[in-house]
């Protein structure tokens, strides 16, 4: 089983729709969680960190479910500019490095 798994998509959604992605992780000792965004042929950039209590940043909401070992990203009122690949990132306790998921591709359609 992969350390971090994501549905590769693509998720094709109309503008204004709400879309959610999940990411599962296998190491129960995982401690830090992040969502990164990567535009086509560009570098990944941090979208948001994921805290135990969940967090929200505008149209984006991230949640953590430790019992089921997954994190989620919810995007409300999708914009064309949200089209990108969303990478799930996980770090385990005591580890100096993180593990990236392979990403979920989102295409927002006019």
Partner 1 sequence: NAGVTQTPKFRVLKTGQSMTLLCAQDMNHEYMYWYRQDPGMGLRLIHYSVGEGTTAKGEVPDGYNVSRLKKQNFLLGLESAAPSQTSVYFCASSPFSGETQYFGPGTRLLVL
Please report, as ranges, the residues that interact with partner 1 according to CB under 8 A: 8, 31-32, 34, 42-46, 49, 87, 91, 95-98, 100-103
The answer to whether 87 and 94 are in contact (CB under 8 A) is no
Q: Which of residues 45 and 59 has its CB atom nearest to partner 1 in the complex? A: 45
CB of 49 to partner 1, least distance (A): 7
d(CA 75, CA 60): 5
d(CA 95, CA 53): 23
Q: Which of residues 20 and 46 has its CB atom nearest to partner 1 in the complex? A: 46
Which residue's structure tokens are 């089921």? 68
CB of 107 to partner 1, least distance (A): 17
CB of 31 to partner 1, least distance (A): 7
The answer to whether 28 and 90 are in contact (CB under 8 A) is no
């Amino acid at each position: 089983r992969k350390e971090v798994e994501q549905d590769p998509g693509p998720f094709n959604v109309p503008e204004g729709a709400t879309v959610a992605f999940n990411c599962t992780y296998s190491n129960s000792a995982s401690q830090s969680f992040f969502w990164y965004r990567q535009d086509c042929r560009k570098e990944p950039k941090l979208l948001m960190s994921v805290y135990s209590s969940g967090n929200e940043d505008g149209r984006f909401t991230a949640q953590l479910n430790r019992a089921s070992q997954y994190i989620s990203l919810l995007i409300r009122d999708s914009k064309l500019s949200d089209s990108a690949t969303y990478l799930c990132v996980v770090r385990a306790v005591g580890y100096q490095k993180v593990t990236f998921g392979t990403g979920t591709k989102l295409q927002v359609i006019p």
